[in-house]
């Protein structure tokens, strides 16, 4: 098994808690950051721009993605230009479609052509990757975020899809393995040559488990079950011996 330092895939922290982001910024293995409106709402962010600018005061040396939240192309475009102006390390997340299912390929092509670093997001299907790759070809450095974890949630293996997605990309575009569900996904992404994987704090907490001896881990698990039973003061009364008749 590879160690953390041997991985080729870049690990981006996915979240919107400022304190956690700044703590992770001190970790050399974190190569970038991603956010989205849902994560911001969960973290209690009420001032979108204020939060972003506060974070960018501290994180200037690694890429960070902020997402538009409009639902029509014109307002998305206005927001994208505004967000891109917040910092040279900013990527602008544009959803692959709006809420009516209308593709945003033309908008993404314009933004990329204008020099804005786009992170095309909420992608789950290979044909979406194909259209986005064409839209981004020849433009600014950009990402395509395929939600492999959500693909797996449907009972499908995301690895073949991610391998095929890599074959579609132009040199100016990198593939992001988004919404991972477990630490194993980092190694799966690395094995197929995926450029980036976004990882939430819950999964990042398991980083220390990489390469852990399985017998030791088994013993720790047994002790956990035993200790929790003792703390709960569980008991089973002794049952009388069954009476047998001949």
233 within domain boundaries: no
Integer Cα distance of 94 and 76 in angstroms: 8
Q: What is the pLDDT of residue 240?
A: 77
Q: Is the pLDDT of residue 245 over 70?
A: no
Q: What is the pLDDT of residues 127-186, one digit of tens each?
A: 999 999 999 999 999 999 999 999 999 999 999 999 999 999 999 999 999 999 999 999
CATH (domain of 133): 3.20.20.70
240 within domain boundaries: no
Beta-carbon-side half-sphere exposure of residue 42 (alpha carbons within 13 Å): 10
Tell me the residue ranges of DSSP E strands in the chain. 10-14, 30-34, 64-67, 90-95, 118-123, 142-147, 173-178, 196-200
pTM above 0.85, yes or no: yes
216 within domain boundaries: no
Phi, psi at 54, each rounded to 5°: -65, -45
Q: What is the pLDDT of residue 197?
A: 98
Q: What is the pLDDT of residues 43-53, one digit of tens each?
A: 999 999 999 99
Q: What is the number of residues in the chain?
A: 246
Q: What is the pLDDT of residue 59?
A: 98
Phi, psi at 20, each rounded to 5°: -65, -40
Give the chain's domain count.
1
The token duo for 240 is: 């009388």
94 bridge partner residues: 120
218 within domain boundaries: no
246 within domain boundaries: no
Q: What is the pLDDT of residues 22-41, one digit of tens each?
A: 999 999 999 999 999 999 99
245 within domain boundaries: no
168 within domain boundaries: yes
What is the domain extent for residue 54? 4-207
228 within domain boundaries: no
Integer Cα distance of 7 and 219 in angstroms: 28
């Amino acid at each position: 098994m590879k160690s953390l330092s041997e991985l080729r895939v870049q690990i981006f922290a996915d979240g919107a808690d400022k304190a956690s982001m700044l703590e992770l910024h001190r970790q050399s293995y974190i190569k970038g950051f991603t956010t989205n409106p849902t994560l911001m709402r969960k973290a209690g962010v009420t001032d979108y721009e204020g939060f972003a600018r506060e974070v960018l005061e501290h994180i200037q040396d690694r890429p960070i993605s902020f997402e538009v939240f409009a639902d029509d192309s014109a307002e998305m475009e206005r927001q994208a230009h505004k967000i891109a102006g917040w910092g040279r390390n900013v990527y602008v997340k544009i959803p692959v479609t709006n809420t009516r299912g209308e593709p945003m390929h033309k908008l993404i092509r314009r933004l990329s052509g204008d020099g804005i670093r786009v992170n095309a997001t909420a992608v789950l299907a290979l044909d979406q990757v194909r259209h986005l790759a064409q839209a981004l070809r020849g433009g600014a450095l950009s990402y395509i975020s395929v939600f492999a974890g959500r693909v797996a949630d449907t009972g499908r293996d995301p690895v073949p899809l991610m391998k095929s997605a890599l074959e579609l990309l132009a040199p100016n575009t990198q593939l992001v393995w988004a919404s991972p569900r477990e630490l194993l996904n980092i190694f799966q992404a690395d094995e197929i040559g995926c450029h980036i994987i976004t990882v939430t704090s819950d999964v990042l907490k398991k980083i220390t488990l990489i390469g852990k001896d399985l017998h030791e881990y088994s013993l720790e698990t047994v002790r956990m079950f035993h200790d929790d039973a003792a703390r709960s003061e569980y008991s089973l009364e002794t049952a009388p011996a069954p009476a047998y008749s001949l």
